[in-house]
């Protein structure tokens, strides 16, 4: 079979490998679609992410779906949960599997991910999707799950005002989740024109360029004191500061973006004077069933977020396109 491995920053190569043989309680998945995520771009650009660095050539890709060959799910299109928690530690037993200290994660550390034609994966972590789903939609259930978990951390009340800073794929999904959950005023902030246009299409009431007069725009929209909950989904200090500026006194600010260099800074005086509460996102936890229902019922639309598709042999071009951010989601089709 073919696979794509990252050898060092910006050095990804397609080569041959043995087709895996599933072990006990595993299934063989023929990978059909792999989304390139912002965290994959950190690996590609920097050779690492956060405090993790490339220790060996690694198969990236954690947003993926495929068809099962053999076993109880034979022939089914499944979304693959990329996280393999130990399910025995206290964090797992209390229901916070995303905080498991020994979790294995596809395309991270020593666990190869989905940029290959086949992989063996624990059957319990494969989520069959309705027959109406495309492989792309099934793959994008992973970032949608992150958006759902991010929204959960916001503790958003019905009718509350919400801002989403950064309208890449997860930000656009988060806008749709917020709209489906009954938010009031929904504000989107994004520097790129095509992403602002998509945010408006997905139901944002106020769409802003970060270089605009934000306070004046909010006041004109009937939110003079700021929003009740601000979500940062860009991974930059400027985006964090902007989310804080948009938040009203006593608001909650949720940081979902992953910064380059593993450092985030923000003006402490603003946070202190406003009495802001911060929450940080660690992947997701048990959100696949809800994500599937959201797409199945048409409350969240994911297929149109895919703007570029590449075969596995053109994976380097796929990463270059995703890094350029001229579109939204780049998809690799092994």
Task: Evaluate whether 178 touches 162 at the Cβ level (below 8 Å).
Answer: yes
52-53 and 48-49 beta bridge pairing: antiparallel
Topology alike, domains 2-140+302-333 and 146-280? no
For the chain, the straight-line distance linking the first and the last C-alpha, in angstroms and rounded, comes to 10
Q: Which residues pair with 28 in a beta bridge?
A: 69, 120
DSSP letter (8 states) at residue 88: -
Going edge to edge, which strands form the sheet with 186-189? Answer: 206-208, 186-189, 162-165, 227-232, 247-255, 277-280
| Homologous superfamily in CATH for domain 146-280 | NAD(P)-binding Rossmann-like Domain (3.40.50.720)
DSSP letter (8 states) at residue 310: E
Percent of the chain with pLDDT over 90: 92
Tens of pLDDT along 78-87? Answer: 999 999 999 9
DSSP letter (8 states) at residue 324: H
- Sequence spans of domains, the chain: 2-140+302-333, 146-280
pTM of the model: 0.96
Token output for 265: 């800074």
According to the model, what pLDDT value does residue 6 have? 97
According to the model, what pLDDT value does residue 247 have? 97
Tens of pLDDT along 203-261? Answer: 999 999 999 888 888 999 899 999 999 999 999 999 999 999 999 999 999 999 999 88
Query: Which of 292, 329, 334 minimizes the C-alpha distance to 35?
Result: 329
167 pLDDT tier (thresholds 50, 70, 90): very high
Q: Which residues pair with 203 in a beta bridge?
A: none
Tens of pLDDT along 107-127? Answer: 998 899 999 999 999 999 999
Tens of pLDDT along 282-318? Answer: 999 999 999 999 999 999 999 999 999 999 999 999 9
* 243 three-state secondary structure: helix
Q: At what angle do helices 169-180 and 141-153 cross, to 10 degrees?
A: 60
Check if CATH label 3.90.180.10 holds for domain 2-140+302-333: yes
Token output for 180: 């489906």
- Torsion angle of C-alpha atoms 237, 241, 243, 248, degrees rounded to 10: 160
* 254 three-state secondary structure: strand
Distance CA 27, CA 285 (A): 22
Task: Evaluate whether 79 touches 129 at the Cβ level (below 8 Å).
Answer: yes
């Amino acid at each position: 079979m073919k696979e794509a491995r990252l050898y060092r920053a910006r050095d990804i190569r397609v080569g041959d490998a043995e087709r895996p043989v599933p072990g006990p309680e595993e299934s063989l998945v023929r990978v059909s679609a792999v989304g390139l995520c912002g965290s994959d771009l950190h690996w590609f650009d920097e050779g690492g992410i956060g405090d993790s660095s490339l220790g060996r050539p690694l198969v990236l890709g954690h947003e993926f779906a495929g068809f099962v060959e053999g076993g109880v799910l034979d022939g089914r299109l499944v979304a693959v949960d990329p996280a393999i928690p130990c399910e025995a530690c206290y964090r797992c037993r209390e229901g916070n599997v995303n905080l498991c200290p020994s979790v294995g994660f596809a395309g991270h550390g020593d666990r190869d991910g989905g940029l290959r034609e086949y992989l063996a994966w624990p059957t319990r972590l494969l989520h069959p999707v309705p027959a109406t789903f495309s492989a792309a939609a099934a793959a994008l259930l992973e970032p949608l799950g992150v958006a759902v978990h991010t929204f959960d951390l916001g503790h958003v009340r019905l009718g509350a005002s919400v801002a989403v800073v950064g309208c890449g794929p997860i930000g656009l999904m988060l806008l749709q989740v917020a709209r489906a959950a009954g938010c009031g005023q929904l504000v989107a902030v994004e520097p790129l024109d095509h992403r602002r246009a998509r945010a408006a299409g997905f139901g944002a009431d106020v769409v802003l360029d970060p270089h605009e007069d934000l306070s004046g725009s909010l006041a004109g929209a009937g939110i003079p004191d700021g929003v009740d909950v601000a979500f940062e989904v860009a991974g930059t200090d400027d985006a964090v500061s902007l989310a804080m500026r948009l938040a009203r006194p006593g608001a909650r600010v949720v940081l979902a973006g992953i910064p380059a260099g593993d450092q985030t800074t923000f003006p402490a005086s603003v946070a202190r004077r406003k009495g802001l509460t911060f929450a940080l996102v660690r992947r997701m936890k048990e959100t696949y069933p809800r994500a599937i229902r959201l797409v199945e019922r048409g409350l969240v639309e994911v297929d149109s977020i895919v703007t570029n598709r590449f075969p596995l042999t053109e994976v380097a071009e796929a990463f270059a396109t995703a890094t350029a951010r001229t579109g939204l989601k780049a998809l690799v089709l092994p």
